[in-house]
Structure 1
Amino acid sequence: MHKIFILGYSESFISLLLETLKVNGIVKDIVIVKNTEVKEQYPFRPAVTSVEIINSAQWRHVTSSDRFVFGVGSPSVKRKVFESFRESHGITKENFLSVRHPFNVTASSALIGKGCYCEPSVILSPFSSIGFGVTINRGVTIGHHTVIKDFATIYPGTHIAGHCVIEEGVHIGMGTSVFNNVKIGAGSVIGGGSTVTEDIPGGVTAWGSPCKIIKSADHAG
């Protein structure tokens, strides 16, 4: 049995991830790799058989059978975690597992990339496509022929209609509705509760109903 390494450390995110691993029957040989000081006891740990917590400085060797999942949900942090461990340990996208709660509905034609995490009550419609390292929280609907690209994070209760394109590293806040044929550019942040009826360019912050840009890429710093 290979070990599963959780890379990155967000306590609330990992508590949900461990529960999802548990309902999928994965309850041992789990290692959390932190890049901060290690606590003696993980406060949110569910009843799993074996969870080890180590500091990234203690982790030296990666075997061909090891598998990895992200322990954070932030798009920018996921990317940094991946790039850091790729450089230090030679990890590739192919080494990652996708973790999905069994209480989801996934069309047989949906494509799901490596390193994804789906909470309960997610619907992936026919011919939807989910990229590497995407996080989809509970109660999210992804419409038909919609593409979600690498490292995006979709927060709870969001509904994305058909033929949409969500570019890399996009953050879509809780309870957002995205209408048909909309494209959201790379790295943009959509505030919770928004109604997105038109394309949003990359690198901006947008919010509202209808959704409007409130911080442009030129003023993002």
Structure 2
Amino acid sequence: MTEKEKMLRGDWYVSLGEELFNERQHANEILFEYNSLHPKEVEKRMELLRGLFGESPEEFFIEQPFKCAYGYNIHWGEKSFANYNCTIIDSGRVTIGKNVMIGPNVNIFTANHALAIKDRMAGLEYADPVDIGDGVWIGGGTTINPGVKIGKNSVIGSGSVVTKSIPENVLAVGNPCRVIKKLDK
């Protein structure tokens, strides 16, 4: 089994090998072009992302600059938006629902590294998927950690660090992020 196959299964894998390095480089090349395009070249920008992502709709928008690790693990929902400086480390699947709003400087991580220094130095990691439900609003400066699911229509307050899954229809804030209020449907 290749390291990529292990990564996609959520098993321990070595991220430093040639295959995964080349795939990250491919994504970096596409994103270099994307981030260098004139702001008026909206259709060209979206075309580049559609070619990079695992799934993308006709209508969505991501502001420049944008960064991701591989791209093919990102499944972006219809009419969803990400503001400036969104970073997605998509070693595992990242699902963005429909009508999601992502504020500036949001980080979404799926990669977990080994706790033992020996294993970490060997490049061992594993990926846990992130799932963001339809109608979610993620405030600017938020970090979403591996394995998190955010339920539909929930709001994550700016600057939050989301370490655990959040149910639907709630307002959650803080570090660590916690539910503070149920929202009307």
Shared fold (TM-score, shorter chain, > 0.5) = yes
Aligned residues: 126
Q: Which amino acid aligns with 1:173?
A: G
Q: Normalised by the size of structure 1, how large is the TM-score?
A: 0.51
- Note if 1:142 corresponds to 2:85: no
SS of residue matched to 1:112 = coil
- Note if 1:208 corresponds to 2:156: no
Mark the CA change 1:99 to 1:107 in structure 2 (over 3 Å): closer, same or farther: closer
Identity of aligned residues (%): 31
Choose the corresponding residue for 1:110, options 50, 54, 73: 54
Mark the CA change 1:109 to 1:185 in structure 2 (over 3 Å): closer, same or farther: same
Query: Could you give the per-residue CA deviations for residues 74-131 of structure 1, whole angstroms, max 9, x where no partner exists?
Result: xxxxxxxxxxxxxxxxxxxxxxxx78479x8888353222210110011244311101
Contact 1:105 1:124 in 2 (8 A): no
Q: Which amino acid aligns with 2:101?
A: T
Structure 2 CA distance for aligned equivalents of residues 165 and 110 of structure 1: 14
Instruction: Tell me how large the CA RMSD over aligned residues is.
Output: 2.5
Structure 2 CA distance for aligned equivalents of residues 99 and 153 of structure 1: 22
Correspondence for 2:162: 196
Mark the CA change 1:214 to 1:190 in structure 2 (over 3 Å): closer, same or farther: same
- Give matches, 1:113-124, under 5 Å: 113-124=57-68
- Name stretches of at least 5 consecutive residues in structure 2 with no aligned partner: 1-37, 111-128
- Name stretches of at least 5 consecutive residues in structure 1 with no aligned partner: 1-18, 25-97
Structure 1 CA distance for aligned equivalents of residues 147 and 44 of structure 2: 28
SS of residue matched to 2:180 = strand
Structure ID, larger Rg: 1
Q: Which amino acid aligns with 1:129?
A: H
Mark the CA change 1:99 to 1:214 in structure 2 (over 3 Å): closer, same or farther: farther
Mark the CA change 1:201 to 1:216 in structure 2 (over 3 Å): closer, same or farther: same
Contact 2:60 2:78 in 1 (8 A): yes
More helix, by proportion = 2
CA drift of 1:216 comes to 1.6
SS of residue matched to 2:158 = coil
Mark the CA change 1:125 to 1:153 in structure 2 (over 3 Å): closer, same or farther: farther
Q: Normalised by the size of structure 2, how large is the TM-score?
A: 0.61
Query: Could you give the per-residue CA deviations for residues 131-162 of structure 1, whole angstroms, max 9, x where no partner exists?
Result: 10110111001231110011101110000112
Contact 1:110 1:124 in 2 (8 A): no
Structure 2 CA distance for aligned equivalents of residues 135 and 146 of structure 1: 15
Contact 1:120 1:139 in 2 (8 A): yes
